[in-house]
Amino acid sequence: MQLIPVGEAEKPRNQFPPVYVGDTLIGEDDIAREMQHHPAEEVAEAWHEAAKSLVIRELLLQQASRLNLDDIADEEDRIARVLEQELNVPDPSEQDCERFYAANPGRFCSPTLMAVSHILLAAAPDDVQERIRQEEAGRQLLSSLLDGRAQFAELAKQYSACESRHQGGSLGQISKGQTVDEFERPVLSLQEGLNPELIETRYGWHLVRVDQRIDGEQLPYEYVKPQIRQYLSESVTRRAFRQYLQVLAAETGVEGVDMEIPDSPLMQ
């Protein structure tokens, strides 16, 4: 996704209706400039997000005037004061945190750790013939390992295209997020020992042996409670912010742009 060039940002202005917040017109030039902060594949999408962002800002500034906060010179400080005064967000209770922990056990586990060795039979993604050839070679090597005719480390040194061949194919300890997805997903599901199937990735075919596996365990509640409290607080704040903007938009009146508010604040 790329930024919309300034020239492109200026082109669509006559294609869209004027945007009003109450009686205040959001200027076309302002929307064009704001588009640079809303990268999108389509100009119309960038225009819409830019206009919506400026509408939200104007709604909050008009509310600041109604709250007699115009003596605060900086607009960002003024908006912050509005939200401080208007958004009454309760802190998550201990019961809220405990309930979330109990309902989402999989979110609070230590990562599964694995010591893995592999033999890579390299083949480019678009070289169909080479991939077929390397798959057949891989099946022959795998057969020799399964029936005990060969040693994994020796085959790695002789055939693997990965630098790990110098360590007998050992990749050391790996966990989620450390390798490419098409390798990681099947490997993390394996138990200790030689995988009886080849694994195909963009790099070619892999013979894989899991040398050690330490499954992740659920973390104690007290350890993750601060993380849960922060997550719940942010979720409630986002929801309150969205509802507050919807009320302001309905009371003030917004024309020219769809004011469906997303789950996260547009004002940063």
pLDDT digit string, tens, across residues 137-148: 999 999 999 999
Coil, strand or helix at 172:
strand
| Residue 2 pLDDT > 80 | no
**Which of these, 164, 186, 166, lies nearest to 114 by C-alpha position?**
186
pLDDT digit string, tens, across residues 84-123: 999 988 899 999 999 999 999 889 999 899 999 999 999 9
pLDDT for residue 245: 94
Q: Output the pTM of the full model.
A: 0.59
User: Any idea where the domains of the chain sit in the sequence?
Assistant: 6-92+227-255, 113-214
Non-local (6+) Cβ contacts of 34 within 8 A are: 50, 51, 53, 54
pLDDT for residue 262: 56
Q: Which fold has domain 113-214?
A: Chitinase A; domain 3 (3.10.50)
Joined together, the tokens standing for residue 172 give 């050391």
Phi, psi (deg, nearest 5) at residue 78: -65, -45
pLDDT for residue 34: 94
